[in-house]
Each structure stands twice: as structure tokens, then as C-alpha cells.
Amino acid sequence: MSSARVFQSATRNLFCHNRGFSKDNVRKIKHNRPAQLPIPPCSFHSQIELGVIQYLAKSLKMLQRIQIERSVGEMARNDMADVRKVQERLNELLDPNRPQLVPDGINGPNTKNLIGEFQKKVVGLANPDRRVDPVGRTISALNDIASREKWKHDPDGPGTWEPDRPEPGKFIDFDKLPKIPVIGPLDHNGGFDSFPPPAQVLGPTEVEARVERDGAWIMLPIGSKRQVRLDINADAPVQIFNNGIDENGFVSSFKSEQLLRATFRGNCLVLEGLASCKTCQLDIVQNGRHLRIYVSVKPVRMIPLFAFHVQHGPGMKSRISSSELNSIIQIANTEILQPQCNVKLELKDERDLTHKDIAQHLGTTFIDNRNDPEQDELRLFEPFAIERTFPQPHGAEPSKTVNVFIVREMKIASIGEKKPRRVMGVMRSSGRQAALCVIDDQSIGRITKVKPVATILAHEIGHMLIGSIYTHGKNSIVSPRVHNPFKDALMYHGPVGTKLYRAEIEAMNPTKHQPLPVIL
């Protein structure tokens, strides 16, 4: 093909493409829009023709239209792909004698300042917001070739620019940044509060403990890993700020004790507990967005159990077998206590307790009568309670020994109540290092409701460890109560839920050790 024919064909194709027609003038394209470069080579006869078209388009000063999915700049989402598009377009329109931005997709001070200058000199904004939205005057000006002529060289502008980088943590005002949404832990376990926290994040309306509300919170067992999924761009760089964090993600105390490790795997924050720490604050920043997360690294707290299978009378033994008891303890540990507060029940011994041992026939129903101490049958169990001290791993808080008495059926007569009412469990202290726990076996014939019994056991253990921290009202005169008012809580009256709230977790497994962070 001669050069004249190539030029003629290229001009014709460029005209048809610009006018919205196919090159055979048969099919009309729906949207009339300027020619967009680069144009796919398959649309033309040869690479020579494509080169001619690109030369013509450059001569006619045409711009390829850019579109962004999310806002870019100050207080924006700043996805890396969108930031890179804006950076490249600013470089195209910028005076060639001025230093250009590094199109690395990072929204830093250079990018925001240049957007502000473009808005002031080209768009004509008196108070530029340094932000490019998907629809608006700024993005329209970026797609207009006439903006190049309006944007003249500024003799007072900067001579050279360094590549944009996220600003150092001490210069970032985290409170003014938009927040990174939290999806939640991958293990779907408890021991986690998202951000913003729910209204009942503390459990009850008011509790003695006060916790931070400006970030998410997670319980991290020593020696374990947990992953929290965040709504972030997996390909964009992420920064983690903490006074004691190093380049490998290890957070250390001022004594060089490694407390935890925080790294990223895709869009998941990976946390590994290394040493006991009550509260470790991490500030996560990506593309101008921020998330604060508090990490509580907890050692396992062991609760020793001694179980007694109570015989009410001849042929009236409790119906929970030894294998079922082990299943109950395992469910309470793996599904309720360990995932949320790293508390573990450990069965030290189990034995039978006959009516001859207690020297009294209990009848079909055991009664805990607090109105009349002489008729209180719980006192009959006190001589058999075992009181021992067991060492705790990793320096956890010591715990009382819990003596669990399993009965066929039980009722309680509380103060102010005329008739005893059916209950599934009761907890009472006995001595300095022992507690008495009575639970209903909840068996029908030979069938034992293992999971409900496990929930009751965990509920009663919670009573022993938590105590009275709730006030069911805004009036501080209201005396503390022992049950959580929210139905999804494990500590709700008549437990139907299994959730433990942060104040309850801190009471069940307190972490008093708070190492001071290293000052870098």
C-alpha cells in the first residue's frame, strides 16, 4: 500500500471513529465521543496506519478520557488504580518544564497539592478541596485538552519533588482520616468488637470497667494467630504505626520484650500473640484511610474442676455419664470460653456422692433455699468441697477451685420469693479458694442435652469470675446486679446466648501486665 493510500485510509478511519461510525459507514455506534487513544491495532490495516493515526491524534491534541471509580485526594477513598490515573493525567497536562509526579498510585502531599493547584488555576475554584470526584468539574477539566494551555508554568513552584509516600505517623491526625471498615475475624470466633462499636459493646448499660471506644478490639491468645479481614486494597501499601513496632511487624516493650507481631496477608491483618499485654494500640493507614485496633494478648487461664455425680436416693443418681461430662467440658471450652476469653476448664477428678455420704435423702428435687439456711440443701455439699491451688501457665491470674455437683433436678428459693422456682444452675463461694456449682443434668430418660448443659456450666463459671459489675440503668444509685440485660449474652438471666462482651472478658481473664512501649 502506497504512503498516500495509508494516509488517506488512516484519516478516514480516524474521522469515522471520531464521528461514531464504523469504517464501512454501515453500523452507527451508540455514543458519539472523541477519538480515544490508544486505539486497538486490530481496527486498522497495519501498524503503519496505526502510527499515522496516533500522529494525527497528537497533532489534533486529543486526550484519552479517564474515568475513576472512587474519589481521589483529600479525605477520599484513594484506590491505587484511581490515584495512578489522576497522577498520569496531571503529568500530561503539566508544563513539561516542571517536575512531574511519580505515578505510583500513592496519595501523598505532592499529589494533593498538585490537585489543589489544578483546581485553583484551571477549574477556577477559590477554595480548592484538593479532591477529584468521579463526577464533577475537576474530572471534566482533567479530560479537556484546553486545560493544558490554562495551566501555565508557575515560576514560584517547587524545583524538584520526591516521590509521594505516606506521611510519618507522628504527623498524621488519625481522627480526621476516613475509617477503614472492618469485616471481622476469619475464625468467626468471639473476643472481638468491630468499629464503630455496638451500643452494648461494654455488655450492660453501665459497668465498672471503662474501655476505649475509638477503635476495634480483639482478644489474642498467647502462642496463637488470628486474622482480621479489612475492607482495603490488597495491592496497595499498608502502614502500621506503634511506638514499639519494627520493620518486621514485631511490637516490643521498653525492655525489648516482644509482645505480638502484626503483618498483612492480602486484605487480612495477621496477629500473633507472643507475651501478655493488656492493651496494645495499632494504627493502620492505607490510601488516606485509618483504623485503630486494640489488641489484648491473654495467657490461658486454667479453671480446675472437681465433679460430683450426686445420688438423690436409692436408684436416683444423676444421669450424666463420664463421657458426656467430658463432652460438656470440651464444648464449653472450644465453643464458648477459649475463643472469647482464653479461659479453659480442666477436670481434675470426678466421683460419686451418694445419699449415704451426705446422710440425707434429697428426694426428686434438690432445693437451694436462701430464705431458710437450715433447709438449704446446698450446705450439705460444703464438707465435700475440695480446695486446692494449681499453678497457672504464662503467669495468668490464679483461680478458685470449682466443685461441680450434678443433680437430677433443682429449684431455688430466693429472698422475697414465696415458692421455689426451677433453675438450671447456681454458683456460690465456699472458702477462699473454692466455689460450689450445682447444675441440672437436663436429661430426659437416657438422653442428655449436652450443649445446653455446657452453656449453663460456662454461665456459672462466668458468675464466679465476673461477679457483680452490671447496673441496669443510668442512675448510679442502682445497685450492681449479676446478669447482663442483653439476650445474646452468655451472662443473660436464663442463658440463651453465648456472647461475652469486652468488659466481661477482661473480668474473666484479667491482664494486669501492661508493658510500657519502647520509644523510638
Whether 14 shows a pLDDT value over 80: the answer reads no
Strands 250-252 and 258-265: antiparallel
Verify that 249 and 314 share a domain, yes or no: no
pLDDT-based confidence at 442, cuts 50/70/90? confident
Whether 351 shows a pLDDT value over 90: the answer reads yes
pLDDT score at 212: 64
pLDDT-based confidence at 448, cuts 50/70/90? confident
Verify that 201 and 291 share a domain, yes or no: yes
pLDDT score at 49: 58
**pLDDT digits 0-9 by tens, 63-72:** 788 999 888 8
Verify that 292 and 306 share a domain, yes or no: no
Q: How far apart are CA 92 and CA 66, in angstroms?
A: 12
Verify that 320 and 432 share a domain, yes or no: yes
Task: Give the N- to C-terminal CA distance of the chain in Å, as an integer.
Answer: 70
Mean pLDDT of 160-175: 54
pLDDT score at 48: 59
Query: Is 486 within a domain?
Result: no
Verify that 431 and 413 share a domain, yes or no: yes
Q: How far apart are CA 369 and CA 379, in angstroms?
A: 10
Verify that 249 and 187 share a domain, yes or no: yes
Q: Which has more confidence, 102 or 167?
A: 102
Q: List residues bridging with 249 in a β-sheet.
A: none
**pLDDT digits 0-9 by tens, 401-434:** 999 999 988 888 876 667 888 888 888 877 678 8
> What sign does the CA torsion over 137, 138, 140, 146 have?
positive
Query: Is 484 within a domain?
Result: no
Mean pLDDT of 138-155: 80
pLDDT score at 19: 41
Mean pLDDT of 176-190: 87
Query: Is 474 within a domain?
Result: no
pLDDT-based confidence at 470, cuts 50/70/90? low
Query: Is 265 within a domain?
Result: yes
Final residue of a structural domain among 298, 333, 357: 298
Q: Which has more confidence, 455 or 236?
A: 455
**pLDDT digits 0-9 by tens, 297-347:** 999 999 999 999 999 888 888 889 899 999 999 999 999 999 999 999 999
Domain housing 320: 301-466
Q: What is the CATH number of the domain that holds 454?
A: 3.40.390
Verify that 103 and 224 share a domain, yes or no: no
Q: Which of 518, 511, 520 is nearest to 257 (CA)?
A: 518
Cβ distance 494 to 484 under 8 Å? no
pLDDT-based confidence at 482, cuts 50/70/90? confident
Mean pLDDT of 172-191: 84
Cβ distance 50 to 17 under 8 Å? no
Verify that 125 and 268 share a domain, yes or no: no
Query: Is 495 within a domain?
Result: no
pLDDT score at 340: 93
**pLDDT digits 0-9 by tens, 37-70:** 444 444 445 565 556 555 555 544 567 889 998 8
Final residue of a structural domain among 298, 333, 367: 298
Query: Is 248 within a domain?
Result: yes
* Radius of gyration in angstroms for the set of CA atoms belonging to the chain, rounded to a whole number: 35
Answer whether 0.85 is exceeded by the pTM: no
Verify that 305 and 275 share a domain, yes or no: no
Structural domains counted in the chain: 4
Verify that 446 and 359 share a domain, yes or no: yes
pLDDT score at 289: 85
Q: Which has more confidence, 288 or 490?
A: 490
Verify that 404 and 291 share a domain, yes or no: no
Q: How far apart are CA 104 and CA 117, in angstroms?
A: 20
Q: What is the CATH number of the domain that holds 225?
A: 2.60.40.1080
Query: Is 134 within a domain?
Result: yes
Q: List residues bridging with 262 in a β-sheet.
A: 271
Query: Is 477 within a domain?
Result: no
Final residue of a structural domain among 274, 298, 322: 298
Verify that 334 and 411 share a domain, yes or no: yes
pLDDT-based confidence at 458, cuts 50/70/90? very high
